[in-house]
């Protein structure tokens, strides 16, 4: 009988930090397994403002090192994942009521440019002529307007796809990725190994996994994971909640993102173009509730609508303009002395456990941002290699393109050329072809190749949305999709459109059922599960398709 494999590293958690650490470990030659209780990128890493940014507001808290780190990582992502991360212009209107005046904003912009000295994007610009600003932005509030700053950061259209590509790239380098597999407890811990017990939440299979080191990358669930592995430590996570509204793009509305100081509390308020919609957000509130039951409150909706209506008065927004809402949490360090959620640092902490806590062959990731996941992963694997008595090798991930960025030199040219070639070759509309290249990058050919012998797979799943039937097949065969929610929310974009994909369920289940062995009862259950998830997590004011 072959003895069970002992991994160098067990990672608990399949969000941006867990998948980033898995790739870093795999690239450095470690035998790594990642265990995720749901699906890759299913929670915290997805339900956010979808930005890769330097953190302009962190300058106010003198976190210059964090801003510099973020700006450096932003530049790397533009090269390593250009299909997912693209520059986005931000406009910052200056109003008389603002607590931060023009001089302070100007100083912040100059410092932001200085800290991003090696960027490929342009420096900021200032405009103090309100008449010119309003002529170019007639939708904007004119009352008290006396200037505008313009700068660039980046948008991550699908954070869930960045997590997925990190996991798939790690898998291509030898990592084992287990989804829908829950950590249920600690089996054994010695001076050399740690063994944990897991259960597959779909099949019920129980398994023991042994490794020489364990990384707890559970995000907001870090404290829960520590309890499962018998670590006796004080509370580590201080979670804050952020909520967003999704609305249609309104007539003659902005093409750029707008970043204002909210009148109610002075915190950042955004209107961000996102696909066919606008994201309106965000809130920042301490949260001590159920991490599996996070929804927007009426107070948050009122707050966001009031700010939106003031800054963009030409439309007259009401709840009926809300297509849906979503809420997520920020996994931040526990700082009980912080008076406001916005004061809690966004800097990550790599917390090494000692024998006094229970056992020492593990560390926990506290905090972290989408933008800085790679640097966090590099620092984490430096620690792991030292603890495994291995030489600390240079990080290969700094200039390592993800799967969708392979052989992509100039993204704008590649995007347009590849989209047109795919549209012509596979008889797709140009909009559909562009969506596929944007979603998969250079891997899009593997999806469209499925349509060569099965032309029906080139058909759109729903006439209002660009996803095609081949994506469902590809997601199951190549991207470990195991549930309807996996497909709707992370292997296609169906679940984030205006109707949250509810009008597509029958067709998606029809495509998925033969591959996943769903009988009639299971098909109905999958649809019920997805419908319940939508009802639980999203307030929907308007479910009409785009």
Question: By the 8 A CB rule, do 512 and 487 touch?
Answer: yes
Which tens digits make up the pLDDT trace of 65-104? 999 999 999 999 999 999 999 999 999 999 998 888 899 9
d(CA 289, CA 13): 20
In the three-class reduction of DSSP (H, G, I as helix; E, B as strand; rest coil), residue 367 is classed as coil
Q: What is the DSSP secondary-structure string of 403-428?
A: GGGTT-SSHHHHHHHHHHHHHHHHT-
Contacting residues for 119 by C-beta, under 8 A, at least 6 apart? 71, 74, 75
Tell me, yes or no, whether 446 and 525 share the same domain: yes
3-state secondary structure of 126: strand
Q: Is the pLDDT of residue 157 over 80?
A: yes
**Which of 470, 66, 478, 57 is closest to 284 using CA atoms?**
57
Is pLDDT of 1 > 60?
no
| Average pLDDT of the chain to the nearest whole number | 94
Report pLDDT for 537: 86
Q: What is the mean pLDDT of residues 419-447?
A: 98
Tokens matching residue 50: 């979808």
Q: Hey, which bits of 303-382 come out as E strands?
A: 322-333, 349-352, 362-366
CATH number at residue 320: 3.30.9.10
| Mean pLDDT across 446-453 | 97
Return d(Cα 509, Cα 305) in angstroms, integer: 36
Residue 393 maps to a domain: no
pLDDT mean over 511-535:
98
Number of domains in the chain: 3
Residues 508 and 458 in one domain: yes
Do 224 and 281 lie in one domain? The reply is no
The CATH number linked to 360 is 3.50.50.60
Residue-level pLDDT at 251: 87
Look at residue 104 and tell me if it is in a domain. no
Same-domain check for residues 317 and 372: no
Beta bridge partners of 278: 247, 273
The string of pLDDT tens digits covering residues 191-224 is 899 999 999 999 999 999 999 999 999 999 999 9
Residue 4 has pLDDT above 90, yes or no: no
- Is residue 440 scored above 90 in pLDDT? yes
The verdict on pTM exceeding 0.85 is yes
Q: Are residues 297 and 216 located together in one domain of the fold? A: no
Q: Quick check: is 276 in a domain?
A: yes
Residues 480 and 501 in one domain: yes
Q: What confidence score (pLDDT) does residue 345 get?
A: 76
Do 252 and 231 reside in the same domain of the chain? no
If one compares 356 and 104, the residue with the highest pLDDT of the two is: 104
Q: What domain range includes position 276?
A: 239-329
Same domain? For 347 and 312 the reply is no
Q: How confident is the model at residue 343 (pLDDT cuts 50, 70, 90)?
A: low
Is pLDDT above 90 for 366? yes
């Amino acid at each position: 009988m072959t003895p069970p494999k002992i991994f160098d590293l067990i990672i608990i958690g399949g969000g941006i930090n867990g998948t980033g650490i898995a790739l870093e470990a795999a690239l450095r030659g470690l035998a790594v397994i990642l265990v995720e209780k749901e699906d890759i990128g299913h929670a915290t890493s997805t339900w956010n403002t979808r930005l890769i940014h330097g953190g302009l507001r962190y300058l106010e808290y003198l976190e210059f090192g964090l801003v510099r780190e973020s700006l450096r990582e932003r530049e790397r992502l533009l090269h390593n994942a250009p299909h997912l991360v693209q520059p986005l212009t931000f406009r910052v209107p200056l109003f008389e009521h603002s607590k931060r005046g023009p001089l302070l904003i100007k100083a912040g912009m100059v410092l932001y440019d200085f800290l991003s000295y090696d960027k490929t994007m342009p420096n900021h610009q200032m405009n103090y002529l309100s008449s010119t600003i309003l002529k170019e932005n007639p939708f904007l509030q004119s009352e008290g307007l006396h200037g505008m700053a313009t700068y660039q950061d980046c948008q991550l259209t699908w954070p869930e796809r960045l997590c997925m590509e990190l996991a798939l790239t790690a898998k291509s380098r030898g990592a084992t990725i287990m989804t829908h597999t829950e950590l249920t407890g600690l089996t054994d811990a010695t001076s050399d190994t740690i063994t944990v017990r897991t259960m597959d939440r779909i099949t019920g299979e129980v398994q023991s996994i042994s490794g020489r080191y364990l990384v707890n990358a559970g995000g907001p669930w870090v404290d829960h994971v520590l309890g499962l592995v018998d670590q006796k430590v004080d509370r580590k996570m201080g979670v804050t909640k952020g909520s967003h509204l999704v609305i249609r793009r309104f007539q003659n509305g902005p093409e750029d993102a707008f970043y204002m100081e909210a009148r109610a509390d002075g915190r950042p308020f955004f209107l961000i173009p996102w696909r066919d919609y606008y994201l309106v957000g965000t809130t920042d509130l301490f949260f001590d509730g159920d991490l599996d039951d996070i929804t927007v409150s009426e107070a948050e909706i009122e707050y966001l609508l009031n700010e939106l209506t003031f800054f963009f008065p030409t439309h007259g927004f009401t709840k009926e303009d809300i297509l849906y809402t979503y809420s997520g949490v920020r996994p931040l360090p526990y700082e009980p002395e912080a008076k406001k959620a916005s004061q809690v640092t966004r800097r990550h902490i790599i917390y090494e456990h000692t024998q006094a806590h229970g056992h020492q062959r593990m560390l926990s990731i506290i905090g972290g941002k989408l933008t800085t996941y790679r640097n966090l992963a590099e620092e984490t694997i430096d620690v792991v290699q030292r603890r495994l008595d291995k030489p600390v090798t240079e990080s290969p991930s700094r200039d390592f393109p993800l799967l969708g960025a392979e052989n992509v030199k100039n993204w704008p040219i590649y995007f347009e050329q590849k989209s047109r070639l795919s549209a012509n070759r596979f008889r797709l509309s140009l909009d559909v072809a562009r969506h596929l290249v944007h979603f998969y990058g250079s891997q899009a050919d593997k999806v469209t190749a499925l349509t060569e012998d099965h032309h029906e797979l080139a058909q759109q799943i729903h006439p209002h949305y660009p996803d095609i039937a081949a994506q469902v097949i590809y997601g199951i065969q190549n991207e470990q999709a195991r549930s309807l929610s996996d497909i709707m929310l992370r292997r296609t974009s169906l679940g984030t459109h205006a109707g949250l994909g509810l009008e597509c369920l029958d067709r998606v289940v029809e495509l998925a059922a033969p591959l996943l062995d769903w009988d009639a009862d299971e098909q109905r259950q999958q649809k019920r599960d997805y419908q319940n998830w939508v009802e639980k997590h999203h307030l929907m004011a308007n479910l009409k398709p785009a």
